[in-house]
Amino acid sequence: MALDAETRDQLIDTVRRFVTERLRPLEAKVAEDDAMPDEVIEEMKGLGLFGLSIPEQYGGLDLSMEDECLVGVELGRTSPAFRSAFGTNVGIGSQALCMFGTEAQKEKFLPGIASGEIITSFALTEPEAGSDSANVQTRATKDGDHYVLNGAKRFITNANKAHLFTVMARTDPSKPGGGGVSAFLVERDSPGLTVGKSEKKMGQQGAHVSEVFFDNVRVPAENLIGREGEGFKVAMQVLDRGRLHISSVCIGVAERLIADCVAYASERKQFGQPLSSFQLLQGMIADSKTEALAAKALTLETARRRDAGENVTMEAAAAKYFASEMVGRVADRAVQIFGGAGYIADYGIERFYRDVRIFRIYEGTSQIQQVIIARETLKRGG
Ligand code: COS
């Protein structure tokens, strides 16, 4: 549902102030501690951030994709680890349920997801199913009114805190591709489900990924999402949406870095002049600004088209591809503009440089986005 302009502007203003006043001062500490303060999580819950995308009738804010992206841009103006705390609830952890769940499933879980009481995770990736996500090996075998899950997932965001997983598992081993895969809601306290240690990562400290293991985990048949054998398509549609959300966060980070570069270049003097007076440096700022504007235009236009009911698989892939590569280039230029200071941890620029690297990998690598864009373009004939 689209908010009226006034309510939307108020929400954006509130999120902007929260990011500026509460989150930005904590960036270095969260990175250092690799943990998110509990009080910040509580404030995020109070602001409704866990329920941005959840329908109003279940306690969420029910934002349109366009409004979610506008909020995503604001959230991108600080360390992306903060967004990750509720990102799975807003996106990949909740959307299979929102789009394909039964009324009973929604009533049971969505209010808790919207309030942040239930943390969700999306468990698709496996050791042998990364980019080739149809190659799911985790098995789900029907046993009476249950399915029994066995297998392992990896790189699962927020698994260490999750109460509820959307798990893609193979129900039909005779079908090797996506057609034999089904999606399930699996509760964390199910006997046989264990979560591995949090992985040590290159960036985004304070956000966590872990392995998840299923050892004869019994899942009630009523927890199947959609129909048996449709789990791969469910996952792909969740990712179509998630890719737009990630694009908006990339744009926010780029805007933040451009502002930091402008502030630094205006203050720092060399050869008796501020850095900002040098045209070679202005060229870097102009390139970053142009690319950020282009990514924003593409992302918001695609979000509006999705809101209007169009299939935007190709356009969402293009947005994710362009925005994630764009913020990589912007972060690289930011290190260059800050010079030696860009390489020193105290200035925070090198942290963003590391943080943004994952955007070109998760929710589909740049190469996967290229595959999706090319396939569809070839199919359409241009
Ligand atoms: N929406 C709806 N249906 C989709 C779809 C989408 N976005 N993408 C694919 N499908 C359907 C296809 O239409 C096809 O249906 P039929 O069998 O009825 O024809 C089926 O799913 C299989 O699709 P496809 O043949 O394209 O599957 P591939 O194995 O070739 O894989 C890619 C497709 C590579 C695009 C997919 O595996 C992918 O996105 N990989 C990256 C996964 C990823 O992002 N992982 C990140 C981790 S999760 S955070």
Q: Using a 6 Å cutoff on CB, does residue 240 contact ligand 1?
A: yes
- Using one digit for the tens of pLDDT, what is the confidence trace for 209-268? 999 999 999 999 999 999 999 999 999 999 999 999 999 999 999 999 999 999 999 999
Query: Where in the sequence numbering do the catalytic residues fall?
Result: 363
- The pLDDT confidence band at residue 342, using thresholds 50, 70 and 90, is very high
Residue 19: pLDDT over 80: yes
- The pLDDT confidence band at residue 70, using thresholds 50, 70 and 90, is very high
Q: Specify the residue with its C-alpha closest to ligand 1, atom 18.
A: 179
Residue from 88, 99, 133 whose mutation best tests the ligand 1 pocket (most atoms within 8 A of CB): 133
46 shares a domain with 110:
yes
162 shares a domain with 30:
no
Q: Specify the residue with its C-alpha closest to ligand 1, atom 11.
A: 233
Residue 366: pLDDT over 90: yes
What is the predicted pLDDT for the residue at 1? 67
170 shares a domain with 59:
no
Helix spans in the chain (H): 5-17, 27-33, 38-47, 65-75, 80-90, 95-100, 103-115, 231-267, 279-307, 313-338, 349-355, 366-380
**Percent of the chain predicted with pLDDT > 90:** 99
CATH at 360: 1.20.140.10
237 shares a domain with 278:
yes
273 shares a domain with 368:
yes
End-to-end CA distance of the chain: give it in Å, rounded. Answer: 32
Q: Specify the residue with its C-alpha closest to ligand 1, atom 44.
A: 364
Q: Ligand 1 center to residue 132 CA distance, Å?
A: 9
Q: Specify the residue with its C-alpha closest to ligand 1, atom 35.
A: 372
pTM beyond 0.95: yes
Q: Using the atom order of ligand 1, give the atom closest to the CA of residue 311.
A: 1
What is the predicted pLDDT for the residue at 3? 84
Q: Ligand 1 center to residue 177 CA distance, Å?
A: 10
Out of 195, 229, 263, a domain closes at 229
The total domain count for the chain is 3
Helix spans in 76-131 (H): 80-90, 95-100, 103-115
Q: Ligand 1 center to residue 236 CA distance, Å?
A: 5
Q: Using a 6 Å cutoff on CB, does residue 89 contact ligand 1?
A: no
Q: Using a 6 Å cutoff on CB, does residue 236 contact ligand 1?
A: yes
- Using one digit for the tens of pLDDT, what is the confidence trace for 107-153? 999 999 999 999 999 999 999 999 999 999 999 999 999 999 999 99
- Using one digit for the tens of pLDDT, what is the confidence trace for 295-306? 999 999 999 999
Out of 115, 142, 160, a domain closes at 115
242 shares a domain with 295:
yes
Whole-number Å distance between alpha carbons of 76 and 208? 18
Residue 86: pLDDT over 90: yes
Q: Ligand 1 center to residue 174 CA distance, Å?
A: 19
Q: How do strand 164-170 and strand 120-123 relate by DSSP bridges? A: parallel
Average pLDDT over residues 70-78: 98
What is the predicted pLDDT for the residue at 72? 98
What is the predicted pLDDT for the residue at 2? 72
Q: Using a 6 Å cutoff on CB, does residue 126 contact ligand 1?
A: no
**Percent of the chain predicted with pLDDT > 70:** 100
240 shares a domain with 196:
no
CATH at 140: 2.40.110.10
Q: Specify the residue with its C-alpha closest to ligand 1, atom 40.
A: 131
- The pLDDT confidence band at residue 176, using thresholds 50, 70 and 90, is confident
Average pLDDT over residues 60-67: 97
Q: Using a 6 Å cutoff on CB, does residue 131 contact ligand 1?
A: yes
Out of 63, 81, 115, a domain closes at 115
243 shares a domain with 224:
no
Question: Rounded to the nearest 5°, which phi and psi values hold at 183?
Answer: -110, 140
Q: Using a 6 Å cutoff on CB, does residue 347 contact ligand 1?
A: no
348 shares a domain with 268:
yes
124 shares a domain with 31:
no
β-partners of residue 141 are: 148
Are 36 and 30 a contacting pair, CB within 8 Å?
Answer: yes
Q: Specify the residue with its C-alpha closest to ligand 1, atom 36.
A: 133
Residue from 95, 136, 182, 233 whose mutation best tests the ligand 1 pocket (most atoms within 8 A of CB): 233
40 shares a domain with 65:
yes
Exposure of 121 in the CB half-sphere (CA atoms within 13 A): 27
Range of the domain at 156: 120-229
219 shares a domain with 238:
no
Task: Give the 3-state secondary structure percentages of the chain, helix then strand then coil, rounded to 5.
Answer: 60, 15, 25
Residue 99: pLDDT over 70: yes
Question: Rounded to the nearest 5°, which phi and psi values hold at 68?
Answer: -60, -40
**Amino acid at site 172:** D
Q: Ligand 1 center to residue 98 CA distance, Å?
A: 19
What is the predicted pLDDT for the residue at 157? 98
CA-closest candidate to residue 170, choices 211, 220, 129: 129
Q: Ligand 1 center to residue 45 CA distance, Å?
A: 33
Average pLDDT over residues 342-357: 98
Q: Using a 6 Å cutoff on CB, does residue 41 contact ligand 1?
A: no
Helix spans in 308-365 (H): 313-338, 349-355
